Homo-oligomer: A and B are copies of this chain.
Amino acid sequence: MNITGKQFIGGQRLAQSEVTFHSVDAATGNALPYTFFEATKVEVQQAVDAAAAAFSHYRQTGIEERAVFLETIAEELDLLNDDFIQVVMQESGLPEARIRGERQRTSNQMRLFAKVLRRGDFLGARIDTALPERQPLPRPDIRQYRIGLGPVAVFGASNFPLAFSVAGGDTASALAAGCPVVVKAHPGHPATSELAAGVIVRAIRRCNLHEGLFGMLFGNMIGADLVKAPGIKAVAFTGSLQAGRALCELAAQRPEPIPVFAEMSSINPVILLPGALQQRSGLIAAGLAASATLGSGQFCTKPGLVIGFKGEAFDHFCGQLAEAFGEKAPAVMLNRDILKNYDDGIDRLLRLPGVKRLNGGTLLENRAAPAVFLADSSLLCDQSHPLESEVFGPATVLVAVSDRQELMELLPRLHGHLTASLFAEQNELGDCLPLIEALETRVGRIIFNDYPTGVEVCDAMVHGGPYPATSDSRTTSVGSLAIDRFLRPVCYQGYPDDLLPAPLKNANPQGLLRLINGEFTNAAI
């Protein structure tokens, strides 16, 4: 593999710094034979300047040109060979099938946004035609659509080295919106990042686009400089609450504040109604154990809290879940920091009064062992939210409530989370309605009789939720609606048709569905 470890800036590979770091084998903790240069402040600025220069060109590209570009990235992703898969496996410790699946998901995300571009509804075209005779004042012709915000800084996630990283969902949606991207490569998978960045650079060249359209910087210390660079107009981040919150505060303090779309923390509560436990306790225990330990529990949607009703059925279920967890093998984690944090998180849980371990959780040969805990429900009312601090890894906490009333009192006190799941039988649907009403205000996705892991990339997906799940509950980072984060409306008043952008011209040359004088229509004017 040809890995140089240099920055990607305006189509060039540069390395000014003398500070370097190594890529690490997730399974062994040993250095891999790839060296990376820590980007300098000057390089951060250069990458942002190149992106700003590219913006003035790229935002003028047509829908079709952009769609083809995204499809070209998808093609190039699919062309990556087995050596690439090996590098990702080494750096992430994730198994081959997962990497291949994630690569497919990543190229499919690009293709989804190509579809979104061609559908054109992301443009939000709205036209109010002139009413010259209106009294007391005539109405001018006003036409609105949405344009890209400008260069976006993308902070790749550790846990999806492909689908939420260099060429992942944030990059796909920003590029689709017409925004150049500068990625901060996650230090946990720099070689993977370099190879994925190469994919985007090749696609830019094949499509004859501006070389500044994509940049990538290596390093641990560059995040603040990137967010503070005046040319950056939005930030997309997936990672810890602490880091996400710090970036939000930096962005808010800029002379020109910018939005930060940070996906940060979630424990994804699961609620088990009595009928469901009665009917299929074993099945649910097996499903939950599989969901909570999938990918060593390193998913933002891992079910980390399971709430049931006190009694024999729930006691029995706890035993089944503990047993199911016990059958799961300890697994390599993404990196040593994450492994250590998992261990610390388990210690933190065990130190809480009212928490006991039902199974697992000890470190075995540098692998994380799945762990199940039982906690007192009073801890969910504690103002410091001790059970809602995410333990990233294969751990889940069980909580028994006395009755429906206690549950209904608990739910509004929950932090914001990405998802909630509800298990119920057909005859319990009536009981579900008040629970759903309460959960709607706390999460972005409510799942019925299914597990939260497995986030479908589609139009209807919401991968978001109230703080601290994300920094902006009005958005999603997965699915086609993610493009909305990087768009802003602009309107044109009294324009001659010749000067209007294509989506707003009378003839409707792109055949868009537009809101014209209050009605949706594909018609020309």
Chain A residues engaging chain B, CB cutoff 8 angstroms:
56, 60, 101, 115, 119, 121, 124, 126-128, 136-137, 139-140, 142-144, 147, 149-150, 248-249, 252-253, 256-257, 259, 416, 426, 429, 432-433, 436-437, 440-441, 443-450, 454, 456, 458-462, 464, 466-468, 471-476, 481, 484, 487-496, 498-499, 513, 515, 518, 520
Contact = CB atoms under 8 A, between A and B. Distances in A.
A121 B456 contact: no
Contacts of A495: 446, 448
Contact of A481 (B121, B144, B445): B144
Given A248-B252, A248-B257, A474-B488, A493 B450 contact: yes
A494 B142 contact: no
Contact of A461 (B60, B142, B475): B142
Contacts of A454: 137
Given A56-B437, A429-B498, A456-B142, A515 B446 contact: no
A161 to B, nearest CB: 20
Contacts of A445: 490-493
Contact of A121 (B458, B459, B476, B520): B520
A436 B128 CA distance: 20
Contacts of A520: 121, 513, 520
Given A143-B460, A256-B466, A443-B490, 10 more contacts: A126-B459, A126-B481, A147-B440, A256-B468, A257-B467, A446-B492, A449-B494, A459-B518, A460-B515, A520-B520
28 contacts: A60-B437, A126-B459, A128-B456, A128-B458, A128-B461, A137-B454, A140-B450, A143-B460, A144-B459, A144-B460, A144-B481, A149-B473, A248-B252, A257-B467, A257-B471, A259-B474, A429-B498, A444-B488, A445-B491, A445-B492, A445-B493, A446-B491, A449-B494, A450-B493, A459-B515, A459-B518, A464-B489, A481-B489
B144 A518 contact: no
A460 B494 contact: no
B444 A119 contact: no
A432 B498 CA distance: 11
Most buried by B among A248, A487, A494: A494
A440 B487 CA distance: 13
Nearest to A491: B462
A115 B429 CA distance: 33
Contacts of A487: 474
Nearest to A463: B491
A142 B450 CA distance: 12
A140 B421 CA distance: 14
Contacts of A136: 101
Nearest to A56: B437
Task: Give the 4 A-B residue pairs with the shortest CB-CB distance, closest first.
Answer: A252-B252, A462-B491, A144-B460, A142-B460
Nearest to A445: B491
Contacts of A115: 518
A330 B2 CA distance: 74
Contacts of A432: 499
A472 B481 CA distance: 18
A445 B490 CA distance: 6
Contacts of A150: 441
A499 B429 contact: yes
A487 B513 CA distance: 22
Nearest to A462: B491
A499 to B, nearest CB: 6
B119 A440 contact: no
A121 B440 contact: no
A377 to B, nearest CB: 22
